[in-house]
Amino acid sequence: MNLLLMGVLLALIAIAYQIGLSKSRNLAGKGNNSAKLHSRPGYYGALVALWCGIPAFLILLVWNIVEPNILRHVVLNNVPASIAATLDQASIEVLIDRVQAIASGFGVSDQAAAYEIAAAQQLAKIETISSFAKLALVICAALAGLVMAKKRVAQQYRARNQVEKIINWSLALCSGVAILTTIGIVLSMFSEAMRFFHFVSPIDFFFGIEWNPGFSTSGNAEGSYGLLPLIWGTLMVSGIALLVAVPVGLMIAIYLAEYAPSSFRAWAKPAIEVLAGIPTIVYGVFALMVIGPFFKMLGESIGVHINATSALTAGFVMGIMIIPFVSSLSDDIITQVPRALRDGSLGLGATKSETIRQVVLPAALPGIIGAFLLAASRAIGETMIVVLAAGNSPLLHVNPLEAVSTVTITIVNQLTGDTDFASPQALVAFALGLTLFVITLGLNIVALYIVRKYREQYE
């Protein structure tokens, strides 16, 4: 029905365009002298089409949102009060499904109750009326828009300005979506986190040193919800990742920017950047299948116990993942350092490495710190690698060879599985998410500020 109506509407819009077009061409007179018109004929067509389409589509949209609720009421009104009192939420849904099946002529396999049949008859009647009413209303709206817009088409009517105004508005609306997303993130996290703080006090959450939320079946906050072990695990894993990624990434950037012949750079740079495009789940599986067992074996051969899933494994693999991130950001920044600084240093007799270490790097330092912070925020928010490779033991310990738990692992654990959405065990995920959001946002804002400031310095 909706599809049919949509098709009719599209056809009407096409006709409206043609009407506007031909009327404006007539106005232009013989020889299609469009100089007599304010706008080109296409704009008149577009304006009539928009007037025809937009109100009709809006009506259709509102109707489709409201209609199901009204139909529900019709069904429930037909259920005798004595039976309605015995129904719970689930059996109401079953009842509505049954009535709808009878009304559509599909029938039910067992004997339908009298009130069900009565409800179905009424439902079928109202559905028919409603669909005709919808059809009539939408088409009337479309035609009314068409006629009204057509009337306004005149030689000096500013159709182009109207159409452009509409285009402008719709573009602005689209850019509002990004804002809405942010507002949605902040509001949803904040309100759900507030619900969580009804169960657990924020002080216990932010400064607690024990993480043991218990199971959601109990329906109340029995366990302990201390954030610190999770933050500690997150910092440990990201710290290891940065220890791997920053030296390697920075040296790659230096070598490719300062030493490598351009033919080598041309293929080595994209080859390393391939690492940035690989999905994180692949890194997770890689850690689990290759790196974890390798570290375990390495540990056995030197007599140290290394867990296959540990902070070390997760951090190391995450480090591999952010190498290209560090290297390409630093590369950009190093190449931005002005040529004159290098020439000055080389002219005084410094070797190339001395120039890099004592002139280029200090000059690029703020930018590199910015890159470092961006990489850190990447590492803190990373999920799949740690879910697969960090193990899951939310304890405060300093041994990177043991399993740890992070904020992101816990979010996934608390929201997957059979959790009741309203229990503190599930709601805590939003409090954790909010914490994560604030940390990464802070890091990003500082990093972007530093990078931008640095860029201005040399422009």
Partner 1 sequence: MSTSNSSSMGQTFDPQAAAELREKRKQKIASSLAKRHRKEKTFRILGFSAVVTGLFFVVLLFGSILAKGLPAFWQSSISVPVYFDPALIQVGAKPVQKEGESPAQFQERTIAWQTEMGMVDWDALIVNSMIAKDSSLASKRDELSGLYTSSEAYRLRDMVMADPSLIGQKEQIKILADANVDVWLAGNIDRSLPDDQQQISPEVRQLADQLKANGMIENTFNTNIFTNPDSRSSPATSGLAGAFMGSLFMMMIVIFISIPIGVASAIYLEEFAPKNFMTDIVEVNINNLAAVPSIVFGLLGAAIFIGWMHLPLSAPLVGGLVLSLMTLPTVIITTRASLKAVPPSIRQAALGLGASRVQTVFHHVLPLAIPGILTGSIIGVAQALGETAPLLLIGMSAFVASVPTTPLDQSTALPVQIFLWQGNELRNFFEGRTAAAIIVLLALMVGLNSLAIWLRKKFEVRW
Question: Which of 31/261 has CB closer to partner 1?
Answer: 261
CB of 179 to partner 1, least distance (A): 6
275-279 LR contacts (CB < 8 Å, sep 24+): 275/320, 275/321, 275/323, 275/324, 276/321, 276/324, 276/325, 276/328, 278/321, 279/384
Q: Which is nearer to partner 1, 78 or 330 (CB)?
A: 330
With beta carbons less than 8 A apart as the criterion, state whether 159 and 34 touch.
no
Instruction: Choose between 142 and 233: whose C-beta lies nearer to partner 1.
Output: 233
Radius of gyration of the chain (CA): 33
Q: CB-side exposure of 373: number of CA atoms within 13 Å?
A: 19
CB of 8 or CB of 101, closer to partner 1: 101
The nearest distance, CB 139 to partner 1, in angstroms, is: 26
Provide, rounded to whole angstroms, the least separation between the CB of residue 333 and partner 1.
Answer: 16
The minimum distance between CB 192 and partner 1, in angstroms, equals 6
Residues in the chain: 459
Nearest approach, Cβ of 118 to partner 1 (angstroms)?
18
Q: Which of 306, 276, 304, 284 is nearest to 294 (CA)?
A: 306
Q: What is the DSSP string of 362-415?
A: HHHHHHHHHHHHHHHHHHHH--HHHHHHS---------TTS----HHHHHHHHH
Q: Select 279 or 303, whichever has its Cβ closest to partner 1.
A: 279
| Choice between 248 and 395, CB closer to partner 1 | 248
Q: Closest separation between CB of residue 98 and partner 1, Å?
A: 10
Q: Tell me which residue of 20, 13, 3, 4 sits closest to 56, measured CA to CA.
A: 13
Smallest distance from partner 1 to CB 81, Å = 27
DSSP-derived 3-state class of residue 212: strand
In whole angstroms, the minimum distance from the beta carbon of 191 to partner 1 comes to 8
188 residue type, one letter? S
Cα-flanking dihedrals φ and ψ of residue 159, to 5°? -65, -40
By beta-carbon proximity to partner 1, the closer residue of 274 and 340 is: 274
Nearer to partner 1, 170 or 201 (CB): 170
- Token reading at 367: 């930018």
Q: Half-sphere exposure of residue 444, counting CA atoms within 13 Å on the CB side? A: 11
3-state secondary structure of 286: helix
